[in-house]
A and B are shown apart, each in its own frame.
Chain A
Amino acid sequence: MKVLLVFSTIVVVAFSEQLFVGDQVLRVTATDEEQIALLRELGERVELQVDFWRDPTKPGRPADLRVPFPSLQAVKIFLESHGISYSIMIEDVQQLLDEEKETMMLSRRMERSANTFSFDSYHTLDEIYSWMDTLVADHPNLVSKIQIGESYEKRPLYVLKFSTGGSGRPAIWLDTGIHSREWVTQATGVWTANKLAEDYGHDPTVTSLLDTLDIFFEIVTNPDGYAFTHSSNRLWRKTRSINAGSSCIGVDPNRNWDAGFGDSGSSSNPCSETYHGPYAHSESEVKSIVDFILGHGNVKALISIHSYSQMLMFPYGYKRTPAPDYEELNELAKNAVNDLAAVYGTEYTYGSIADTIYLAAGTTVDWAYENGVKYSYTFELRDTGRYGFLLPSSQIIPTAEETWPALLDIMVHVQQHPY
């Protein structure tokens, strides 16, 4: 922005504490040589202290004048009485200066690189959103941020896109934090996104992966819920949508998908933690993902990350019938879980959702599977109940580190088995 460039000089002055309160910048366009002469004359009237940011040169070319507040009336009368047209480009120079200073301080904060973020602590929504921008700034040729929609309370739903180019490449979808109280998942999401960005170009597996596929990563899939766990109730799970005719709030976003929607394994009671919602995809947090994945048309894998229980599961949740790809999904889960255990000895169980944990209807993973995404998995990260949702932050990085090889196993398998 030109204004920014012009500002660089003024900023120096500002820092020596000269104030420009109420000063305005007028854009003036002289229509003939006579008007040009008049403007030059205006500039020579010392008592007015008019400061040309852009000199009057030729008729038809705009000139920019900074006019100190005390001179404003006099200058405007002068211009009007001579029929010289002008517009107010900057209403209050000081205000703009203040905003600019703030932006600079913000970018200075952002300029600290993405990998010096404290991955070993839990962060607020604002901190995570801010960090995402830093990640994009640090890896502009790999990572970009997309907004796929808005939450119920109108928070943006952001997805990080990892791509080295191509057009509509096969893609992997990752999400964390769909249930807001599962804090280790959003934290693992941040660590993992950073890891993907850092390893590209250095680690052969990740490099090969991202040279072939795109990854779409939604780290805070339920931002309203997440904000609520910080402000009010640490154990909040659902969205924060208002339910008509009930004082209870929220829908379980992992029962709101159109796969066995409303079947047993979900509740029709708005007060329940597994309330499926009034209809499938009623929640904007869910609909946004549905629209994105269907619109993309080439998503080959979906991994939805939850906590806790230490499990790696695949469809179905809404019925006990084995999925057609059961053998392959089960075998891959077994390998992934073994590689996970190899890091710190953490033991995971694996299998279909219905067998391993419970019947759950309307889940993300079942919807994806029934919409052409063969490799649909859900993780339940640490622990098995000792701390449960309140996992100490000292376990964030170990959790992320051990989950990483399991994620890679799945992603590499997807890369090697195109369909």
Chain B
Amino acid sequence: TSAQRNRSNAQGKPRNPTLKNEDLKEMLESNKESLKLEAMKRIVGLIAKGKNASELFPAVVKNVASKNIELKKLVYVYLVRYAEEQQDLALLSISTFQRALKDPNQLIRASALRVLSSIRVPIIVPIMMLAIKEAATDLSPYVRKTAAHAIQKLYSLDPDQKEHLIEVIEKLLKDKSTLVAGSVVMAFEEVCPDRIDLIHKNYRKLCNLLVDVEEWGQVVIIHMLTRYARTQFVSPWREEGGIERTIYSFYDSEEERKVEQTRPYIMDPDHRLLLRNTKPLLQSRNTAVVMAVSQLYWHLAPKHELSIITKSLVRLLRSHREVQYVVLQNIATMSIQRKGMFEPFMKSFYVRSTDATHIKTLKLEILTNLANEANISTILREFQTYVKSQDKAFAAATIQAIGRCATNISEVTDTCLNGLVLLLSNRDETVVAESVVVIKKLLQTQPSQHSDIIKHMAKLFDNITVPMARASILWLMGEYCEHVPKIAPDVLRKMAKTFTNEEDIVKLQIVNLAAKLYLTNSKQTKLLTQYILNLGKYDQNYDIRDRTRFIRQLIVPNEKSGALSKYARRILMAPKPAPVLQSAFKDRDRFQLGTLSHTLNSQASGYLELSDWPAVAPDQSVRNVEVVEPVRLPCIFILFYFLKIMLKIESESEENSDDSNKSSSSQSEKSSSESDSEKKKKTLKNKKLQQQKPDSKDRLLLIIMTKYILIHIVLSISTQFFVNCMCSLLHLCVFLACQFDAVSWHVHVSLQASSPVFVPETSHELLHRMTGKGLSAQYRFTRQPCIYGNSMVSLQLTLSNSSDQALENIHISEKSSTGQNIHRFNAIERLEPQASVTVSMGVDFNDSTQAANFQLCTKEDEFSVSIQPAVGELLLPITMSEADFTKEQGKLMGMNESSATITMKPENVSSQSVNRKVVSVANIGVIPSSQENIYRFAGKTVSSGSLVLVSVALKDPDAVITINTEKTVIGSMLLRQFKTALTNSGP
């Protein structure tokens, strides 16, 4: 039919297509922008209708570099649609995109990458790869998001690129932007879903970002994390038994079993983190998100926590028809296993006459699943209304449902059976047929008591025309012919007359009935049987011919039949097990809920199996992310030392190394991934050689070597430390690039946040064990950007129990007495005596040193505590170039500047000690300085992000400290602290 439709569409077109295309071509080639745009709009119209516009390709592709942005976008649309067909011509446009990839406007960079990666031309794979790699490190998260999408496109174009693409995915997974998270996880799922190891380090971050990710990303991340959790955590269902079948092998000793059961289950905190962070998403307006969280809870949560998803799922039933369909299917699967979840909401599944048929049947399915002794009467009353429905298919389904209720709940079997018998006199054929079939199944469970029902059915037989129903009645007659000895032969007599006109399934049952009667009552039926067997012998259908031949050999004794006919009665009249009426949704949860495969009940391509819980949890520490520790401090200084050398060399060779430096810095970035200690040694040697003759012409090489060393030192110091240092290193490299290419870069670089230079180990007392009745708490500032909120200061709290009893439910009270926004740590359920635990929390101090007061609670007590931040902790370090520093400083003069002159202690004068003193007072970053005795530092306030610039100028023996910031209060407080720090001796 659609072929006809297409043809009629084509005929409906008024003008000759080629002629029309001619004038479009002319318009495209004109000089007027408006004409071109008009032509492109018409072409897009053609594409939308599915008409072929590929012959215009040469004329269109010329406009790819147009200044008019709408025209350009329409050309992109065209290009993506036809590039695959016109590969050679498409290549002409590539250079335009390559140029656009360098555009300062992020929207243009992103859309260039989108189109470039959408052109499915295999020749440009290397170009795409390069573009993706570059975009993955772009400063705009929007461009990085586009890069994540491009990964999948390239992968589908050329699967051989997998290894390289995984590298990019790995890099992007570390991205902290919520914009990127969803897209990169999507790429992960598509390219390398089995590389679970890439997720470990990002697991906590993903959990914490989840709420802020856009809704589509949330769905993808939640599904991925569900899979991840099933491989990493142990089952929380163990103790309940219930659904999770805990199978003990036969020879397990009793004691072993006890041990197994008494060991309390403790949920991995990461497992808990996932459950906790997804829970608020049940309130999302996006139905896909709600469903995703629901399936996550279904597959991961302890069974007693499942009930929270019920309300949300029921809420989704108010949504569009299609949403209802999918949600009802999932509820159907859930309700088989856990009736209790949905029973209170039973009335939400009552059918309305306006529901679509598939919705009705699903609701019926769920109502049947929910039926139990208590509510069956209500449900049956409701079913009575449905049986009368005008929608006959639905009425038939209801009858089946009644049958299922009758078998599942023995109290109502008789009631149901009587009700069904009444339906046999219904006028509608389908209703009667369905009733017969269901009655047949029910009777099989207890035949002896119901011979009058069988008689009743025999009476109705003449009026029933539906083959399935007729066949069912005949089978019943044969099976229970001993209960109705008078009627059965008579029915056989009638059937012998109409045999030739019956449907095949009815014929088979006639043969069946005849055989059974022959065995039980051969006196009356011998001739009839032979007649029917003769009719069957010459039937057109070979099944019937076969069956007839088989039956004849079996029941009619002759010399050839042998031993078998002796057992004919036992074969044919064997007691048969009653059929089990069960839901079509039983065992559907072999598929992950909420997936396409679950909806279809068959495995869709690309379906990723949900693994079983591991028996023993894999190493939990793989998910730990290290923080910078003060022990590592010296290496930072080594870094700066090398940096200084580098700068010196570079400033010497500045004139002739403009371009080459850029390339060298990018080269060094690339090489950073190959951590190799041997190489390091080698380069060290090289370096020494180079240093011995610094006048060598090839200074460039020296620069590269220095960078190599920098990188490898970082790598060799600590791999845990690697991530943080990589950040700072990247900043250095970027900074170096700035030195020579300041124009294009410094704008972006100016406010890059960096990792803290120094993290003090001193912790402050929050609660003394005497006042805390055994509970003591200490806090320290981690100086890391807070994961709970951008404007929060992150804190680490160490709680220890010095009493002799376990403390339970340690948490921060909901009501905070002051105005600060506090991100509480998750309640600690139990703290054993002498144990201690470290948790992290975030406080938004709002850029003031006002103390944050809150209540630390245990199960019994409440303690008022307060955290008074030092002014230096309200900052976060940033990096910028020296040029930017002076520029920003220039903007913050007058009121915003505070300065003081101090007399330095001689032991403090060295550059190292100045740096150390300053960074220990405040969490700010060191800005490389080209002047010997001026030290610069930069940071921003955590809440408002205002710049704080600090410079210390040494003029022996005095020093001038200058602080420039909008936040004058913070400025003057900082100044006071620096003064004391720099004038005091000591470490």
User: Are both chains from one complex?
Assistant: no
Which residues on A are within 8 Å of B, measured CB to CB? none
Which residues on B are within 8 Å of A, measured CB to CB? none
